[in-house]
């Protein structure tokens, strides 16, 4: 009953309703996203909120997507554009896609090992958006080996990777254009479901990246965190099964998750009302294929 209601709530939400909710995101923050993003970056710089990133500006893919110092991921190799975020009390690591020049791939793998990452979700194709950090295209001091690779529906690549004694799983989804929406929401929903399943099976950390590590990554992590929270609600039966009760709860969970990621990673996480609306579309897709 809960997931049947969720499907109805999330399906074809009115655009004006989504726009109103999206416009109110981050109203408490001095770094609230503006339409073109020109205000938040300047304010962050003025308030010295991203000094580490600014000191290592050449290691950032974009000079205006600098992570907050307060939640910066630490790495013995030095600075890496990566943040620890905790939407809805769940821990994730969000990073930019590694660079080829200057080469940040060694630092990326170092961060993976030092933070016990057991699942990587890559939402950007290798090339201009993200340096290829997998063998045989890249060799490094870490013995990275692809043990198994499977392609699902010609769109999702699932890999099992070993780095010495460290084992992790890698999911790559290349069909989500930057600043835009995937052509098939059903496939992205399957990626969220797959990541959710692997998080339950693995005890390590989950790392998500796209190109800049804000729009697609923020949208994906928000969706995954909200889906986990709704699963917990269903298991604990802590919400009456009525659309009147469920809708504000779901909207509240999504908004809280987005605002947390923006406060801890960057104010541009979830870029635009279309990506915000996509979260509900994917939740509806997940609910459609879930039984109470």
Q: Which residues are catalytic?
A: 210
**Which uninterrupted H or E stretch holds 254?**
helix 243-264
Q: How do 92-95 and 205-209 pair as beta strands?
A: parallel
d(CA 163, CA 263): 33
The b-or-e profile of 58-68 (16+ CB within 10 A means b, else e) is ebbbeeebbbb
Q: Could you give the 3-state DSSP secondary structure of residue 132?
A: coil
* Residue 287 contacts residue 23 (beta carbons within 8 Å): no
User: What does each C-alpha distance from 93 to 110, 120, 261 come to in angstroms?
Assistant: 14, 9, 10
d(CA 152, CA 64): 35
Measured in degrees and rounded to the nearest 5, phi and psi for residue 273 equal -65, -25
**Which uninterrupted H or E stretch holds 249?**
helix 243-264
d(CA 260, CA 253): 11
Provide the sign of the torsion angle of the four alpha carbons 113, 118, 122, 127, taken in this order: positive
d(CA 192, CA 196): 6
């Amino acid at each position: 009953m809960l997931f049947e209601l969720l499907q109805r709530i999330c399906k074809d939400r009115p655009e004006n309703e989504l726009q109103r909710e999206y416009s109110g995101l981050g109203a408490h923050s001095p770094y609230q996203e503006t339409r073109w993003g020109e205000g938040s970056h300047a304010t962050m710089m003025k308030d010295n909120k991203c000094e580490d990133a600014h000191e290592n500006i050449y290691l950032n893919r974009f000079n205006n997507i600098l992570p907050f110092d307060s939640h910066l991921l630490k790495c013995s190799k030095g600075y890496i554009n990566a943040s620890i975020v905790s939407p809805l009390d769940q821990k994730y690591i969000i990073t930019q896609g590694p660079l080829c020049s200057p080469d940040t791939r060694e630092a990326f793998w170092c961060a993976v090992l030092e933070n016990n990452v057991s699942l990587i979700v890559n939402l950007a194709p290798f090339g201009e958006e993200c340096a290829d950090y997998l063998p045989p295209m890249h060799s490094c001091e870490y013995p990275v080996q692809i043990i198994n690779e499977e392609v699902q529906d010609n769109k999702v690549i699932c890999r099992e990777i070993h780095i010495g004694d460290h084992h992790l799983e890698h999911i790559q989804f290349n069909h989500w254009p930057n600043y835009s929406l995937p052509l098939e929401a059903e496939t992205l929903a399957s990626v969220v479901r797959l990541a959710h399943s692997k998080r339950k099976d693995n005890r390590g950390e989950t790392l998500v990246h796209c190109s800049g590590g804000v729009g697609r990554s923020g949208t994906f992590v928000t969706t995954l965190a909200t889906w986990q929270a709704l699963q917990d609600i269903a298991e604990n039966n802590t919400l009456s099964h009525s659309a009147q009760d469920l809708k504000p709860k779901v909207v509240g969970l999504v908004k809280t998750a987005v605002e947390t990621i923006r406060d801890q990673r960057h104010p541009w996480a979830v870029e635009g009302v279309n990506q915000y609306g996509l979260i509900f579309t994917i939740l509806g897709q997940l609910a459609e294929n879930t039984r109470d």
